[in-house]
């Protein structure tokens, strides 16, 4: 019993530290990738290859003056960044990052909590993050912030349906809501180690998930709640110092969560080629998450921002009907 408590506590601490480290260095990765895609260098001066840039950014934000406008609703204004960040962190509780393993005599499951409704937990928790954005926009006492919050709520309503429906096809095939079981069902010992990955059985579902996830996390080209050219900074216009950085960390934590869930549900999770079994399972998982993150950044460098009417029309008239069609076709296929 004591060993179980210790191993669970160690897992929680390590996962939180890895997520925070990943959020910090996602900013470095984004600057570097965007720099090379746009024929410039990106960070170079803060440490070798600019690797200390996230550290310098963090120190700068810690010591910046925290300016709070007079017109804000203080309690909500203070809680909003936390409400935005915490749900993203809770998502990692059910994401399996490895098979069971032992370390220094302790047994680890490779997941903090193997809930049998893990998929439902992910979508329930991630949908709460939008409340932080809405509350931030309302409590700031600024029309620009309020408009950003309203845009985020409208965007969430438009994409949340398609986002949830995009994985229903996978659930129909797998007949489980457990994230660990979803990974186990995608394992294969053949040369085609990816033959059971659900991206092959649900290519449309994967594309829908990817598109809706980008909109869900307010990333370009769906970053209308921020839209610097229209709303100054959107919902976080009136935030500064560490309050602003909490929103920033929350956005990258959401990106990592979406990448982890996508890798788990569609790309086989920690499963890799059996002929490279000497490579730890967690390495394969991290490679897949990295590919998701790289795609996120690549997309930002490629497409211009949608107009808001285009965004809403795309959500309701394209993604939602396709998600329904995907479920009907999948159900018919399984039935027959």
Helices 143-165 and 129-139 sit at what angle, rounded to 10 degrees? 170
Is pLDDT of 229 > 70? no
DSSP state of 45: S
The string of pLDDT tens digits covering residues 269-314 is: 888 888 788 888 889 999 999 999 999 889 888 888 878 788 888 8
Distance (Å, whole) CA 84 – CA 253: 10
Distance (Å, whole) CA 320 – CA 25: 34
Helices 203-216 and 320-335 sit at what angle, rounded to 10 degrees? 150
Residues paired with residue 107 on neighbouring β-strands, in sequence order: 102
Q: Is residue 107 classed as helix, strand or coil in its secondary structure?
A: strand
The parent domain of residue 173 ranges over 2-335
Query: Which of 43-57, 95-109, 158-172 bottoms out in mean pLDDT, i.e. has the lowest?
Result: 95-109
Distance (Å, whole) CA 19 – CA 25: 10
∠ CA 47-48-51 to the nearest 5 degrees?
Answer: 65
- Looking at per-residue pLDDT, the higher value among 228 and 249 belongs to 249
Contacts 24+ apart (CB under 8 A), 279-287: 280/98, 281/97, 281/98, 281/99, 281/101, 281/110, 282/97, 282/98, 282/110, 285/97, 285/98, 285/260
Grade residue 259 by pLDDT with cuts at 50, 70 and 90. Answer: very high
Q: Is residue 206 classed as helix, strand or coil in its secondary structure?
A: helix
Is 88:257 a contact under the CB 8 Å cutoff? yes
The full DSSP string for 219-272 is: -TTS-TTT-HHHHTTGGGTT--HHHHHHHHHHHHHHHHHHHHHHHHHHS-TT--
Distance (Å, whole) CA 22 – CA 213: 18
Q: What tokens appear for 226 in the block?
A: 């921020």
Is pLDDT of 228 > 70? no
Mean pLDDT confidence for 114-138: 87
Is 201:173 a contact under the CB 8 Å cutoff? yes
Distance (Å, whole) CA 330 – CA 334: 6
Is pLDDT of 263 > 90? yes
Enumerate residues 6+ apart whose C-beta is below 8 A from 230.
none
The total of structural domains in the chain comes to 1
* Predicted pLDDT at 204: 94
Q: What tokens appear for 256 in the block?
A: 């990592």
Distance (Å, whole) CA 186 – CA 194: 8
Question: pTM score, two decimals?
Answer: 0.91
Closest CA to 172 of 198, 192, 150: 198
Distance (Å, whole) CA 316 – CA 143: 27
Is pLDDT of 41 > 70? yes
- Looking at per-residue pLDDT, the higher value among 7 and 90 belongs to 90
∠ CA 50-56-62 to the nearest 5 degrees?
Answer: 160
Distance (Å, whole) CA 201 – CA 322: 16
Distance (Å, whole) CA 33 – CA 298: 8
């Amino acid at each position: 019993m004591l060993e179980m408590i210790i191993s669970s506590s160690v897992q929680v601490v390590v996962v939180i530290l890895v997520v925070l480290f990943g959020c910090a260095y996602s900013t470095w990765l984004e600057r570097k990738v965007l720099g090379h895609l746009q024929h410039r260098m990106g960070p170079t001066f803060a440490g070798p290859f600019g690797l200390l840039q996230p550290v310098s950014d963090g120190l700068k934000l810690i010591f910046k003056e925290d300016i709070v406008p007079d017109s804000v609703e203080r309690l909500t204004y203070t809680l909003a960044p936390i409400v935005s960040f915490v749900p993203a962190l809770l998502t990692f509780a059910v994401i399996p990052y490895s098979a069971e393993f032992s370390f220094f005599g302790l047994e680890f499951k490779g997941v903090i909590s193997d809930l049998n409704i893990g998929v439902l937990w992910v979508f329930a928790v991630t949908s709460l993050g939008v409340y932080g954005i809405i509350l931030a926009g309302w409590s700031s006492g600024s029309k620009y912030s309020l408009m950003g919050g309203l845009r985020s709520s409208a965007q969430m309503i438009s994409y949340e349906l398609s986002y949830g429906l995009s994985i229903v096809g996978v659930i129909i095939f797998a007949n489980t809501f457990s994230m660990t079981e979803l990974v186990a069902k995608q394992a294969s010992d053949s040369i085609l180690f990816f033959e059971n990955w659900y991206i092959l059985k649900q290519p449309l579902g994967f594309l829908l998930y990817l598109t809706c996830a980008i909109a869900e996390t307010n990333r370009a080209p769906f970053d209308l709640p921020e839209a610097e050219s229209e709303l100054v900074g959107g919902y976080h216009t009136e935030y500064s110092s560490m309050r602003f950085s909490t929103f920033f960390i929350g956005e990258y934590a959401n990106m990592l969560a979406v990448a982890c869930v996508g890798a788990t549900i569609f790309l086989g999770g920690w499963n890799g080629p059996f002929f490279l079994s000497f490579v730890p399972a967690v390495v394969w998982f991290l490679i897949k998450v990295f590919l998701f993150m790289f795609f996120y950044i690549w997309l930002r460098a490629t497409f211009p921002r949608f107009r808001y009417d285009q965004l809403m029309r795309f959500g309701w008239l394209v993604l939602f009907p396709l998600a329904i069609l995907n479920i009907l076709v999948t159900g018919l296929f399984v039935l027959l």
